[in-house]
Amino acid sequence: MVQWLEGLRAGRGVGLIPQARDAVSVLLPLLQALSDGVQDAERVDREAVMSRSKSASFKTSR
């Protein structure tokens, strides 16, 4: 979706009305930030799972 919007902003959406191009210019950074936020949340979640599994294996090995 982000790549498609980048293409529209770059002019591959020939025939778009100027208001649509303006909307794409506004939406693209928002979608990119949302995508980055989701990736960060997934990374934090993975790290938490790994931390819990290490903690659990340490407790069972004692």
Is the four-CA dihedral 46, 51, 57, 59 of positive or negative sign? negative
Kindly report the number of other CB atoms within 10 A of residue 8's CB atom: 19
For residue 16, which phi and psi values (nearest 5 degrees)? -70, 140
- Distance in angstroms (rounded) separating the CA atoms of residues 55 and 62: 11
Residue 43, classed as helix, strand or coil, is helix
* Domain extents in the chain: 2-61
- What is the residue-level pLDDT of the chain in tens, covering all 62 positions? 667 777 766 766 556 677 777 787 888 888 889 999 999 999 999 999 988 888 777 666 65
